Amino acid sequence: MGKQEMPKAYEAAKYEDAIYDTWDKSGFFNPDNLTGEPYAVMMPPPNVTGVLHLGHALENSIMDTMIRFQRMRGKKTLLVPGTDHAALPTQAKVEKMLIQQGMKNPRLELGREGLVEKIREFADQSRSTILNQIKKMGTSCDWSRLAYTFDEKRSAAVNELFSRMYKDGLIYRGYRVVNWSVKGQSTCSDDELVYVERATKLYTMKYSKDFPITIATTRPETKLGDTAVAVHPEDERYKKFIGQTFVVDVGSAKPPSIKIISNDEVDPTFGTGAVGVTPAHSMVDFAMYETQKAKGDPIDIIPVIGGDGLMTPEAGEYAGMSVEDARAKFVAWLGSRGLLEKEEDLVQSVGTSDRFGDVVESIPMTQWWLDVNKSISGRGKSLKDLMREAVTTGLNGVEDKKVTITPDRFTKSYLDRVEHLRDWCLSRQIWWGHRIPVWYKGSEMVVGSQPEGEGWTQDEDTLDTWFSSGSWTFSTLGWPEQTKDLETFHPTSWMQMGYEILYLWLMRMVLMSAYALDQIPFKDVYIHGMVCDENGKKFSKSSGNGIDPIEVIEKYGCDALRMSLLLGVSPGNDTKFFLEKIQSGRNFTNKLWNISRFILSSVDTSSLLPSSPLSPQTLADRWILSRFQSLQREVTDHLEAFEFSQAGEKLRDFTWGEFADWYLEIAKIQNTKSKIQTSAILLYVLERILVLWHPFMPFVTEEIWKQFSVPPLPEGGPGGVGVASPLMIHPWPVPSLNHLDRNAEEIFSSVQEIVVAIRNIRSQYKVSPKTRVSVMVVGEVVEEQIEVIKSLAGVGEMAVVQNAPRGDDYASTVAGGRQVFVSLVGLVDKQKESAKLEAEKEDLEKYIQSLALKLADEEFSAKAPANVIASMKQKQDEAKAKLQAIESQMKV
RNA sequence: GGGCGUUUAGCUCAGUUGGUUAGAGCGUCUCGUUUACACCGAGAAGGUCGGGGGUUCGAGCCCCUCAACGCCCACCA
């Protein structure tokens, strides 16, 4: 007997917090208390910008399912929880809040220390909220190893990395064009740009009347800073001008010299075939500027737009104007001089700042950069090479050091992205984040840590937040110290992330660990899609269409939420989330609860002999054990392949369909007959499906587990099942006996067919469920099956006969290879019956025909594998037998 | 301009290397409160797998092509 009465419905909210607490206290979240092969997963640290959303719930469900699966399989599992200080987003958020509270300019009013303090307060609060939410989600992480990208240890790792890279000449300070958010007053990396389409105008113009080449531009005001015109070297129209310089007067402070240069990348067929080169305000043009410099044929660089978004003094009469005003004025001026040839509408894609939303300006500035192309001393390859190797040949060509991306298609876009990578702009002009570990005194500069003595000032800028998250897999393990954790758990085993940060994060993790440790960060990375709302729109922090996962958990339970996020989803694809999904998840948790409630309250455990082997007595016994064994294999295989959805769906189908609807119903009647064995099998299967379900639905399974208080089950059930140790660390089932029984499965499925057929007839003739009908079956049915059929199909009398009965009072069908007659005196509609049979007959004839055709085909029999032919023949035989039965029935 | 994804039942989606009458959940219809569960049970209806072409003995799955939708990338000057 179950120890306590289990309530009729499972109310998740009553149990979850307490269960989590028990797990946590048990110590098994900590790998130090586990044995086995190490298996580590680093939680992608959520940003401390606010609260967790459904995307995080998805991630936690995936991670935790994986880590629980591995823990139950006997691995020494570590899931490190953490949060990300998310430099720019967090500062932006806090500044916005302060402005909403009435502050005009938080940076000015509070100063660096004051503002950072405010942000820290916010971040700390947000952090603690987030950590609680992670617990609510049931995530089995090791809280003793909690990490934060901005804590002391992680900061130490960041500084160490920066110093090493600087010493290796990979990090440099340089004057280059950056993406500048005027609104945010900071740089952004290329990866943080969000491209949007914008309607604009393409102006075709000349710098002056006597300038020989016409150019086109969407940014006329930047032409004030043009210093060259690039043309294709083979372009006959312009070839002759290459190398010449023209001084033009466009109204800027100093009339610029425009040099005609050649460049292979210029498309002679596009526009006028000539490009106005603005080194200061275009990444591409800046690259040309560098190329020219390298060629020893330099061109000038003239910044005409400043960090404040206004025209600079170099812009002469335009100085101080906004970009828009300057453009209008310049276009008007061109028009008045007859220099404007054309004005066309154009749709253009422009980069906007992911956080501030404004279109970024390209402006040259002195910033800190990470060179991704430079050969690393002593290694003979660049960071880019390392990033490439890691997903193809494996680092240094070692297959073991390869990161496998699932689904595979993302590997291609990763590589594509690596190719396009430019030097990474590391410095940000914000205050919240790791301050660049560089100190200046006069012309002296020291990198690493603050030097002794007076007068040193630290660089004002902070590091791009991805610099710290890139080192996450090893900074969390104590690097740069050579800790035991680092040795044990790195490279980590597995990581999951959304495709939207594939480039942003995956590439940088590979880069950092390849550089610092000559290791990959993890062996496998599983890429999931986004959680969208009903209309397929992404849930986002800003758009407010978010469903709060914590509210869902409180109302429906964490397990229900996890089910709704994990099932019906395919790897790498987006998933829509809506109420009905959670409800069906909740319904299932309740179903499992009630299955357990029934079994635990009806099984007489006292009569079970602890060590007696499991010996299936009935057909149903053999069938369910055989089915269970297949299930166990399938679920394990799917989980190993990160196919969470498929594993879960198979489990659900087995649990709800085969186990509950069939075996349990049969057990009710057979309980009297072979009570002990039935009980043992019920417990055997229940125990094991709870284990299999645990990674998906940790709470409800753990709660049910507590109700288990039975003698040790046969076949390696753990001593005193469920008494002391939590389900969480229960061994994953491995088939210890061969229960596979094809024969039983086959016979049972014919029994199922007969039952369904009779139920069908009852439903068709609206026979009340209370009415016992009489049934005749032609052929052979063993006694045991008769009993099952009788009870499941509401049959009173069941006779097995040699010949079909005669008379008008039978509704009939063919099922399970047998003719089935249901006696329904006075109810049978003879016409309907024969029509039904006729239709069935036609279908079958067609089917048999098509099979026969196929089998007669010489090519088919020559080329198809034997097993396909055999199974086809068998199908044909079955169909023929059925047809025969139907025909003989029609004669009745 | 390039790449990727999606298109399967009314809705949301599975469908693992091509094997022959395509599955689930939700919804719909009919029936049912039998002491595990109405967050339930029984039964049913519902699909020419986006269009076209091809390869193959055999295609939802492979190839080509077209279309729609979505995402990503690019030096769209």
CB A370 within 8 A of CB A515: no
Q: Give the range among A657-671, A674-688, A762-776 with minimum mean pLDDT.
A: A674-688
Side chain identity at residue A526, one-letter code: Y
Through-space separation of residue A847 CA and nucleotide B60 C1' in angstroms: 20
Which of these ranges, A366-375, A494-503, A831-840, has the smallest mean pLDDT? Answer: A831-840
CA of A752 to C1' of B2 (A): 55
Q: What Å value separates CA A871 and C1' B19?
A: 10
CA distances from A203 to A185, A214, A361, A572 (A): 29, 10, 19, 42
Please report, in angstroms and rounded to a whole number, the separation of the first and last CA atoms in chain A.
Answer: 53
Please name the residue whose C-alpha is nearest to the C1' of nucleotide B26.
Answer: A580
Distances (CA, A) of A4 to A9, A83, A854: 14, 41, 61
For residues A364-388, give the mean pLDDT: 94
Closest-lying nucleotide for A601 based on CA to C1' = B36
Pairing of strands A773-778, A245-247: unpaired
pLDDT reported for residue A116? 97
Q: What is the mean pLDDT of chain A?
A: 89
CA A820, A821, A827, A833 dihedral sign is positive
Residue A668's nearest nucleotide, by CA–C1', is: B36
- Measuring alpha carbon to C1', the residue closest to nucleotide B15 is A646
Residue–nucleotide distance: A875 CA to B57 C1' (Å): 18
Crossing angle between the packed helical segments A409-420 and A383-391, to the nearest 10 degrees: 170
Residue A187 CA to residue A301 CA, distance in Å, equals 19
- Which CA-bearing residue is nearest the C1' of B75? A284
Q: Which residue is the nearest neighbor of B12, CA to C1'?
A: A576
Mean pLDDT of all residues in A623-632: 92
Where is pLDDT greater, at A457 or A270?
A: A457
Token digits for A607?
A: 């009569």
Which residue gives the smallest C-alpha to C1' distance to B36?
A598
| Distance between the alpha carbon (CA) of A673 and the C1' atom of B75, Å | 81
Whether A452 contacts A167, CB under 8 Å:
no
CA→C1' distance for A352 and B76 (Å): 17
Distance, angstroms, CA A580 to C1' B25? 9
Span A274-290, pLDDT tens digits: 999 999 999 999 999 99
Question: Tell me, what's the pLDDT at A674?
Answer: 60
Closest nt by CA–C1' to A282:
B75
The answer to whether A403 and A391 are in contact (CB under 8 A) is yes
Could you report the per-residue pLDDT of A62-106, keeping only the tens digit for each? 999 999 999 999 999 999 999 999 998 899 899 999 999 999 999
The separation, in Å, between residue A654 CA and nucleotide B11 C1' comes to 25
Residue A194 has pLDDT above 60, yes or no: yes
Residue nearest to nucleotide B69 (CA to C1'): A536
Which residue's alpha carbon is at the shortest distance from the C1' of B39?
A: A587
Q: Give the residue with minimal CA–C1' separation from B5.
A: A573
- Spatial distance from the CA of A560 to the C1' of B33 (Å): 26
Q: Is the predicted pLDDT of residue A266 greater than 50, yes or no?
A: yes
Distance, Å, A537 CA → B10 C1':
21
- pLDDT higher than threshold 60 for residue A617: yes
Which nucleotide is nearest to A578 if distance is taken from CA to C1'? Answer: B12
pLDDT digits (tens, 9 = 90+) for A835-888: 888 888 888 888 888 888 888 888 888 888 888 888 888 888 888 888 888 887
Rounded to whole angstroms, the distance from the CA of residue A417 to the C1' of nucleotide B66 is 30
pLDDT at A717 over 50: no
Rounded to whole angstroms, the Cα distance separating A232 from A268 reads 6
Distance (Å) from CA A796 to C1' B34?
Answer: 15
Find the Å distance, CA of residue A412 to C1' of nucleotide B55: 27
**Mean pLDDT, rounded, for A115-120:** 97
Name the nt closest to A882 by C-alpha to C1': B21
A534 CA: nearest nucleotide by C1': B12
Q: Note the maximum CA span of chain A.
A: 113
Given pLDDT bands bounded at 50, 70 and 90, which one contains residue A183?
Answer: confident
Q: How confident is the model at residue A2 (pLDDT cuts 50, 70, 90)?
A: very low
A249 in Cβ contact with A258 (< 8 Å): no
Q: Residue A227 has what pLDDT? A: 94
Q: Is A193 helix (H, G, I), strand (E, B) or coil?
A: strand
Tell me which of A26-40, A119-133, A539-553, A574-588 is least confident: A539-553
- Nucleotide nearest residue A752, measured CA to C1': B42
DSSP-assigned letters across all residues of A346-392: EEEEEEEETTT-SBPEEEEEEEEEE-SSSPPTTT---HHHHHHHHHT
DSSP letter string, A464-499: -HHHHHTTHHHHTTTTTS--HHHHHH-SEEEEEEEG
**CA–C1' nearest nucleotide, residue A764:** B43
List protein-proximal bases of chain B (any atom < 7 A from a CB).
3-6, 12-16, 19-21, 24-27, 30-32, 34, 36-44, 56-58, 72-77
Element (H, E) at A553: helix A549-556
Task: Give the model's pLDDT for residue A242.
Answer: 92
Name which of A193-207, A346-360, A481-495, A708-722 the model is least confident about: A708-722
Which nucleotide is the nearest neighbour of A276, by CA and C1'?
B77
Using the CA of A583, give the nucleotide whose C1' is nearest.
Answer: B39
Q: ipTM, 2 decimals?
A: 0.95
> How far in angstroms lies nucleotide B47's C1' from the CA of residue A842?
21
Choose among A282, A285, A262, A283: nearest CA to A273. A262
Q: Which nucleotide is nearest to A638 (CA to C1')?
A: B16
* Amino acid A711: pLDDT: 45
